[in-house]
Amino acid sequence: MEIATQRSVMVSEMLPEHYPQIKEIYQLGIATNNATFETKAPDWEEWDQKHMVTCRFVALTEDARVAGWAALTPVSGRCVYRGVAEDSVYIHPDFKGKGIGKLLLQALVQASEEAGIWTLQAGILVENVASIKLHEQCGFRVVGVRERLGQLHGQWRDTCLMERRSTTVGL
């Protein structure tokens, strides 16, 4: 199912067969040391288990190459937080700066509201200025900076906590 297009990129639902390319993009993000606290990408089964079944997208080129992906993870198993999820958006380095991240995040926001999500949050390493700006462009606000939230390769790192509150869900 086509969701949105931009130039020669189409945003569509993520399928399990996309995962080898998704994993590669995730691993490239991990290698920057500014995308996540994770140090290796999981196998499909582990990744699939952690992420919501709905709200998973890929940006596909005309030749079916995955240029980027976006997905949601529930923040808690407690029922009071059923409408709160954390987003992940990763773009292959070959496609950065082309508006694909914005296209994916906009699709994720729309689908999240259709799924009854009232709050999206993002924990972004403070050095990842591009991701912070992307989230601001898509209606997220900075809640604050969480200092020394976790260690990556023995170094304490700060994260920018951002959130987007739905204007249609949970009112």
pLDDT digits (tens, 9 = 90+) for 146-168: 999 999 999 999 999 999 999 99
Residue 55 within any structural domain of the chain = yes
- What does the pLDDT average to over 45-57? 96
Q: What pLDDT score was predicted for residue 8? A: 84
Residue 126 within any structural domain of the chain = no
pLDDT digits (tens, 9 = 90+) for 107-123: 999 999 999 999 999 99
Q: How many domains does the chain have?
A: 1
Residue 153 within any structural domain of the chain = no
Q: What pLDDT score was predicted for residue 3? A: 53
Is 60 exceeded by the pLDDT of residue 4? Answer: no
* Domain boundaries, position 68: 2-117
Residue 101 within any structural domain of the chain = yes
- What does the pLDDT average to over 89-111? 97
Residue 148 within any structural domain of the chain = no
Residue 151, Cα to own-chain centre: how many angstroms? 21
Residue 49 within any structural domain of the chain = yes
The model carries a pTM of 0.92
Residue 119 tokens read as 């709050």
Q: What pLDDT score was predicted for residue 2? A: 44
Is 90 exceeded by the pLDDT of residue 7? Answer: no
Residue 6 within any structural domain of the chain = yes
Residue 132 within any structural domain of the chain = no
Instruction: Give the CATH number for residue 7.
Output: 3.40.630.30
